[in-house]
């Protein structure tokens, strides 16, 4: 049985989160690394819908990893 999963994603928030995760990942590897993070996100960017088809087993594994 396949299930269609969907999410609405704020691309600004997603980009910001990955930027910060990348920065902290580099800091964890090398504590001498330092950088200033400057962003200029589009304030009027609409949310986008993400769709994923998954079987019950794939969905179960995905949710249990979170």
- How far is Cα 65 from Cα 19, in angstroms, rounded to an integer? 22
pLDDT score recorded for residue 48: 86
pLDDT tens digits, 5-64: 788 889 999 999 999 999 999 999 999 999 999 999 999 988 888 877 766 555 555 555
pLDDT score recorded for residue 42: 92
Domain hosting residue 23, numbered range: 2-39+47-65
- How far is Cα 30 from Cα 62, in angstroms, rounded to an integer? 31
pLDDT score recorded for residue 26: 94
Domain total of the chain: 1
Helix or strand or coil: residue 42?
A: coil
Beta-bridge mates of residue 3: 54
């Amino acid at each position: 049985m396949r299930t269609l999963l969907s999410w609405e994603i704020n691309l600004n928030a997603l980009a910001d989160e990955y930027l910060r995760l990348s920065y902290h990942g580099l800091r964890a590897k090398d504590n001498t690394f330092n950088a200033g993070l400057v962003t200029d996100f589009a304030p009027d960017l609409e949310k986008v819908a993400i769709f994923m088809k998954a079987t019950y087993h794939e969905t179960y594994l995905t949710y249990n990893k979170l």
